[in-house]
Structure 1
């Protein structure tokens, strides 16, 4: 072996040893990003990874990415390391998976299992990066169906129900509830989505509205996180929500109207009970008053889809239409505990939580059967209210 070969072999050995050491150490946090770029968002994937590389993993936090790209055949797992090359992904590939389906929820679970075995940590922040469509498949003409994590190669997506399954399996793997789940995707700030994982996740991050293509400001967020890398989960989600808003409020991404909510899922049950009570009270109104409820639903703040409405704006409109029930204040009070961050620069009608409120027959008939099976509806019977106001 010549001198250069010896040097190369030593360097490879040292690099492998360093990553083996990182893998064996139990760190404070794992940030796992399930980055599905096998679609028309692909160009934003390397951009966001490069932002992560401006900070990189350290002695407290592992940043791990499972990266699928429309430009390459193989899905790879990266251990994110700090570098100065903003135009090139340089973090080492620690596993090549070949061609796997990023629209399969079981692949997300496998990612969590692999991270837990090879890069153990006390707390887990799981992110799904891709298109998002809220709790149901897209109803916009010309758009392919999606809930979240749309894989163009297979045509598969991760449904809201499957996302709940994935978090339940992830909690079993890590031995406790997932500390934070978040979607770097559109329209996921919905009570129906959060409810599916309420038994297995502590804190939830999601945007009520669409996210611009650039998504999260990873570098800004990670820099703030690394000032206090052992911060608690509620501190982490509040920091993220604030940095997301700052990025689009004159920050790194300029000026765009955005939303980002953080939920404490330990308060979801009380919130659901208040919404259940509200639904029961509104259902028992007479026909003229039910027409006012339907009109309030039609006029409440919407987010892209006509059937996604802001909860509190809906309640406020019902009350302004002359209807007051005991549950209205309970909904406001319980949402105040449930939503621990509502970072938005839109208007005073955006309160942090969206809910399904279809007011036309196509939205209603297309989804009501599936809605009956959601955990949120099982806990609240919300479908009874949306059925009652149809045609009013």
Structure 2
């Protein structure tokens, strides 16, 4: 079943925040303070235990998730509450958060500490002082120490923090200017550990957003047998560590596929349970609707990269033949299932589901057998996957293909990855072709009159999306405020015309005119039949924090159902991705987002909350007409190169 997703329009796309509090770990378990009486459980002796069936290493980069929300501590409680086994070693490294808590399970997060889980306690083994957890040496030192101190038949590694897919992993509050751990840095760490100890992992898992990418899988293939990760942002409490490690204790020799299935199934079950509880306690939407998780056989990833070479060569040749070809390829990319959609304009993940992308290009006639071979290789490599209702088409591995941010800088960074040369060459050629062309959008609305908009649109790079907006002037010349807006045309690969009634189909949120953007059109199976479902986004501030409220409408229905929100801050400099936060209550205070737009630069200047706030209530979005408009009406078109053009005021009388 296909899923067609169209891109965010300019306002939502450009102002959505970068860092959403990522709730990766769940609460649970109890703390045993140990014989020493310290929260760290006291120092254990340094004698190495005999070889076990499995040693699991957990690399907990605390970051703001711990300092602001205690998320790592909450999950460590869950971990120590799990059933233990003498045949399973569980070792943990913590750090990277600007936090000290004398009563906490970990009393000091500002230094890098090593622990072992023993007798229901977190036993402190070493305090290494301050060290950057995003540097490859810190990770390799941990793996080498754990391998030598806790030998086992099988080794597994869990990486915990923010994730950014191809852009890397983790943030360290103690080293705020440090970049995320890149994939090359991660490879260096694992290669060093392998060289010094011979260690090979049977599974590497990420309790972090967006790490189930083809590039990550390819990077880790020399060092592990399986990858367990999510294509999409992770909501809620992430993995269910209590279930995972209790299951492993009950069967220490379980193979990595079974271990990965338990991670996957318990993760999905936990999200469902917590969503049920949140809705029962007054939350207006579920957090488990768009989750994904997959287990990939890394020995089969080479077949994917081999299939990518002719696939990429064919696409590169096709795209560079003409602007029309480039635009048709860009359109198929826009319509492909995408992940990490709520990243900031500066740090967009731009990850597309590889299986779906290959299928779309084959169906569109852009690729031949090369697309089918890529799709088949992906489905063969992903040995287990489970998706939420809003992500049923996801095939288990994503890949970077720029859509919302086309810059030479991004393709240059991507070129540094140890990945398919042909595919990296495609990305470079694709971005370079767009960069060398002169984007041109012309919009003629002169034939509009009364309540009827008649627009002729010419765009060298197609018409990606379009909207009609109510605006008012500001004290700054050339800058207008956007008071309300609605989509009027999305996803055409060619130029053309748009005709619509200007007084009809405006959106009202709890009785107030709002700016609404079309986020996605997708095909889903509903009651045994394929139906198109549209997702709409409304920019608001919830309790003074910028959010996008997401509503859905099934084709043929007038009902708009609230399904969740994306929450975030308006500024950040790190490249990891945000997380969905669907927990909104009826008593939360909501203010519509007011966008200031520069007509000269054709860009968003700022986003501020309106002065009037209201209770979320039931969050009702309705589509109604307007009898009169005293503000200006303007149309905006965005092309597939991410260039936008807003018009002068459109003649109207109603």
Cα distance, 1:107 vs structure 2: 0.6
Task: Give the aligned partner of residue 27 of structure 1.
Answer: 52
2:545 corresponding residue in structure 1: none
SS in 1 for 2:147: helix
Partner of 2:61: helix, strand, or coil? strand
Name the CA distance, whole Å, in 2 between partners of 1:174 and 1:213. Answer: 36
Equivalent residue number for residue 165 of structure 2? 134
Structure 2 Cα separation of the partners of residues 182 and 282 of structure 1: 32
Match of 2:332 among 290, 296, 299: 296
Q: Between Structure 1 and Structure 2, whose CA radius of gyration is higher?
A: 2
Question: What is residue 111 of structure 2 aligned with on the other side?
Answer: 74
Deviation, 1:20, is 5.3
Give the secondary-structure state (helix, strand or coil) at the position aligned to 1:282: helix
**In 2 relative to 1, CA 252–100 (structure 1 residues): closer, same or farther, beyond 3 Å?**
farther
Tell me the TM-score normalised to structure 1 length. Answer: 0.84
Query: Structure 1 unaligned runs (5+)?
Result: 1-7, 10-14, 84-89, 137-146
Whether 1:262 and 2:295 are equivalent positions in the alignment is yes
Distance in 2 (alpha carbons) for counterparts of 1:306 and 1:252 = 26
Q: Which residue of 2 aligns with 1:139?
A: none
Which residues of 2 match residues 221-300 of structure 1 at below 5 A? Answer: 221-250=244-273, 255-256=287-288, 257-285=290-318, 286-287=321-322, 288-300=324-336
Whole-Å Cα distance in 1 between the matches of residues 66 and 409 of structure 2?
27
Query: Partner of 1:142 in structure 2?
Result: none
Secondary structure class of the residue paired with 2:115: strand
Contact 2:308 2:423 in 1 (8 A): no
- The answer to whether the aligner puts 1:52 opposite 2:95 as a matched pair is no
Q: 1:122 aligns with which of 145, 153, 171?
A: 153
What RMSD in Å do the two structures reach over aligned CA positions?
Answer: 2.5
SS at 1:94's partner residue?
A: strand
User: Is 342-351 or 118-127 further displaced after alignment?
Assistant: 342-351
For residues 123 and 162 of structure 1, the distance between their equivalents in structure 2, rounded to whole angstroms, comes to 24
Higher strand proportion, which one?
2
Structure with greater proportional helix content: 1
Number of the residue aligned with 2:398: 354
Cα shift at 1:215? 2.2
Task: Work out the CA distance in 1 between the residues paired with 2:331 and 2:252.
Answer: 48
* Unmatched segments (≥5 aa) in structure 2: 1-34, 37-41, 100-107, 278-286, 341-347, 435-460, 462-654
- Per-residue CA deviation, residues 188-207 of structure 1 (Å, 9 max, x unaligned), is 11111222222222211221
- Contact in 2 for aligned 1:134/1:189 (Cα 8 Å): yes
Select which of 141, 147, 169 maps to 1:148. 169
Paired residue secondary structure (1:92):
strand
Given that 1:31 and 1:63 are in contact with CA atoms closer than 8 Å, whether structure 2 keeps it comes out as yes
**Contact 2:408/2:428 (8 A) holds in 1:** no
Give 3-state SS (helix, strand or coil) of 2:269's partner: helix
Contact 1:221 1:244 (C-alpha < 8 Å) held by counterparts: no
> Does the aligned pair in 2 maintain the 1:167–1:178 contact within 8 Å?
no
Aligned partners of 1:264 and 1:340 also within 8 Å? yes
Which of 1 and 2 has higher RCO (CA within 8 Å, sep 6+)?
A: 2
Q: How does the TM-score come out when normalised to structure 2?
A: 0.52
- Tell me what 1:326 maps to: 369
